[in-house]
């Protein structure tokens, strides 16, 4: 069994190679740029600060006002280990998340599935935006994320509007 010191030594070896820092900085720069781009293009949406995470996920909320008024948000998420982008419908807190999951459990969700109510699960519904992002083509990647996010928001709006 590896100890924390073993893990830290391996971490240090990987950092000394220099790839982790460059990749992480590039991902953070892209996410920051994506947030700025969407904020400028869709000023009627509410956006949050960029959450950098613990090298597990990085995200920001990008939410139309009508969902925010229902204490819901849309998160644009980069999952580091899977190296993919997802959009999440999420609640403003666990109570809202559980209530909405329970309400949606009786609805036809089409191509979507409900997340389970369990520790560590932050979404109500999630959807893959880009399975294999090409960071060397940032404009094309930005367009893919934007297009799929807007489609996801439209779909989630239709579902949420069916709720009491």
CA distances from 95 to 6, 38, 117, 119 (A): 39, 28, 10, 13
Residue 73: predicted pLDDT: 98
As a whole-number percent, the residues of the chain with pLDDT over 90 amount to: 91
Q: Is the pLDDT of residue 74 over 90?
A: yes
Residue 89: predicted pLDDT: 98
Residue 76: predicted pLDDT: 98
Domain ranges of the chain: 4-160
Residue 148: predicted pLDDT: 98
CA distances from 97 to 20, 50, 156 (A): 34, 21, 14
Residue 117: predicted pLDDT: 78
pTM: 0.93
Query: Taking residues 12-24, what's their average pLDDT?
Result: 94
Reported as a single tens digit per residue, the pLDDT across 97-150 is 999 999 999 888 999 999 987 887 899 999 999 999 999 999 999 999 999 999
Strand order in the sheet with 125-130: 45-47, 57-64, 72-79, 84-91, 125-130
Residue with tokens 């953070």: 28
Query: Taking residues 25-52, what's their average pLDDT?
Result: 97
95-123 residues labelled b (16+ CB within 10 A) or e (exposed)? ebbebbbeebeeeeeeebebbeeeeeeeb
11-21 residues labelled b (16+ CB within 10 A) or e (exposed)? eeeeeeeeeee
As a whole-number percent, the residues of the chain with pLDDT over 70 amount to: 100
| 3 state SS of 119 | coil
Q: Is the pLDDT of residue 81 over 90?
A: yes
The per-residue pLDDT of the chain, averaged, comes to 95
Residue 1: predicted pLDDT: 78
């Amino acid at each position: 069994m590896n100890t924390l010191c073993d893990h830290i030594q391996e971490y240090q070896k990987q950092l000394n190679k220099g790839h982790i820092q460059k990749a992480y900085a590039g991902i953070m720069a892209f996410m920051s740029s994506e947030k700025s781009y969407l904020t400028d293009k869709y000023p009627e949406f509410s956006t949050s600060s960029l959450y950098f995470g613990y090298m597990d996920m990085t995200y920001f909320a990008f939410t139309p006002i009508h969902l925010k008024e229902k204490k819901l948000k849309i998160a644009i998420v980069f999952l580091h280990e899977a190296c993919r982008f997802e959009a999440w419908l999420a609640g403003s807190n666990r109570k809202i998340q559980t209530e909405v999951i329970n309400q949606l459990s009786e609805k036809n969700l089409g191509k979507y599935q409900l997340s389970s109510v369990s520790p560590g699960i932050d979404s109500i519904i999630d959807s893959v935006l880009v399975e294999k992002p090409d960071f060397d083509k940032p404009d094309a990647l930005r367009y893919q994320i934007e297009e799929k996010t807007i489609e996801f928001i439209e779909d989630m709006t239709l579902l949420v509007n069916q709720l009491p």
